[in-house]
Structure 1
Amino acid sequence: MVSLVGAGPGDPELLTLKAYKRLQSAEVVLYDRLVSSEILAMLPVQAARFYVGKARSSHSVPQSDINQALVAWAQQGKQVVRLKGGDPFIFGRGGEELEALVAAQIKVEVIPGITAASGCTAYAGIPLTHRDHAQSVRFVTGHLQQGENTLDWPTLAQPGQTLVFYMGLSNLVTICQALIQHGLEPSTPLALIEQGTTQQQKTHIGSLQQLPQAFHAGEIKPPTLLVIGGVVQLHETLAWFESQQGCAVGFDEGKHPTSALE
C-alpha cells in the first residue's frame, strides 16, 4: 500500500496521529524538501529513504519518475509512504500521484496534513478569516510559469477576502503590482511568514506598495508564505502572542511588527 502523507508546515508536533502511525510502519519513504529532520527522525531505522524534493528551477526527480517509483515499490509488497510538507492535496501534486496509483490499481490512502496557510498564519497571530476583515480566503499558487501573468487578477483583487500565495516570494513584486492594477488598495497590508511554525519563524509586515526592507535586502529566504488582506492588521495587536510561540518579532519604525533582522 502507498500512503500519501501530509507532514504539516514545519513544527513536528503538528503531525497528525494517523500520519505518525504510518511513519512508524513505513518500509520505503519518498520525502520532499520541506519535511523537517525532526519528522524524518521518527522513521524506523530500517526504512529506506529517498529524497525527491523540488525547489524553484531545481527538481531532483521528475514527477513522472516519482509516480513510477511509488507504483514499483508497492508492487514489490512494500509499505510505502510518500511524505510531503503541508498537505498532499494543496499544491503538493498529491492528486497526480493518486491518479497514477489508481491507474495501476495500487491500494492507496491519503492522510491530510496541516497546510502552510493555516499553520503559519496561526503561529503568526493572523486569522485567515475575521468578521471585520475577511469573509473568505483563497489559496493561490505564486509560481508563475515562465513569468506568465495568467491568474484571475480581477477576482483576486476583490476586497473582503484573504489571499494566501504559496511559492510567491520570487514573484512578489509582480503579484503586488498586478493586484494594485486590478483595483486592490495599495495600502492593503501583507505579511511574509518565513520558516513558518518553526523556531526560526519570522514575520515581515508591509503593504502592496511598500514591501518589507528585509525583502529588498534579500534577507528573506524560502520557504516563505505570502498573506494579503485586512486580517494582517491583527498581527500588530497580536504580536505578543507570536512572541509566546518562540518566533522572532521586531518593529519597523514603530509602525509594524517585522523581522528581527531589520
Structure 2
Amino acid sequence: MSDFLFAIECALKSRDPAEKVSLTRFLTSAQVPPSAPAAERLPAPGRPEKPLLVMPRDVPKRGLGTPEGRAALLHALAHIEFNAVNLALDAIYRFRDMPQAYYADWLKVAQEEAYHFTLLREYLQELGFDYGDFPAHNGLWEMALRTDHDVLIRMALVPRVLEARGLDVTPGIQARLKEVGDRRAIDILAIILRDEIGHVEVGNRWYRWCCAQRGLDPVRHFIALYREYVTPFGGPMNRAARIAAGFTEEELELLATLNS
C-alpha cells in the first residue's frame, strides 16, 4: 500500500475526532498508484463511542430558544460534517482506479469538511457542550455502504443527493438562527454553504466523467438510480446553489417532479 493510501486509511479508521481532523488536514500528497490493491470493506469508519447512534426518527427535536436547543442543532450539523470527512476519505480509499485528479479533488473536500467540523465543534464547546453530547443517526454512512461497490453510484448519490440536500436546507436554518440572533452560527453556515457548492460540483463532475467512460446518459441514469435508491424529499430546492454546483435546469425539473 502506498504511503498516501496508508495515511488515508489511518485517518478513516481513527476513532478520535481531533486526531481524525489532524490526520486529514495535514495530508499533502494525493497519489494512488495504478497497482494499488483493492480496498477492504469497512462496515463503519473510526468514530468515538459517543454520540449514541439512533434511528433518525428517534433524534430529539428541540427549539432554538434555549442554549441547549441551539447546541443540539449545532451538534447535528457537526455530526453531518464528521460523517462528511469519513465519506470524502472513503471516496479516496474505496475506489482505486480513478484519475489522479479525482484523489486530489476528494482530498481537498475531506480537508474542508474537517475544517467545517472544527468550526462547529469549537462553537459547541464555547456554548458548554461538545461533540457526542447528543444522540445522532447514521444515515450518511449507510448510503456509503450501499454505494461502496461502484464509484459511479457513489458519485451519483452521495454528493448529488445527500450533500446537495445540504444546499437546499442551509438557508432555512440560517433564517431560524437569525430569529434567535445567533450571528456566529449563521457565519459558520455561510462558510459551509460556500464550500459545499464546490463539493457537490466535484461529485457532479466525476459522476459525469464516469458516465462518459461507460457510454451512459448522465441524466437518464441518475433518474434511474434516484428511483432505486432514494426516498423522495419535500421542501424547496436551492436552485441557484445547485446550478452553481453543476446541476442543469433539466435535472432540477426532473428532480422537482420526482419529489412532488
TM-score (norm 1): 0.27
Higher strand share: 1
Higher helix share: 2
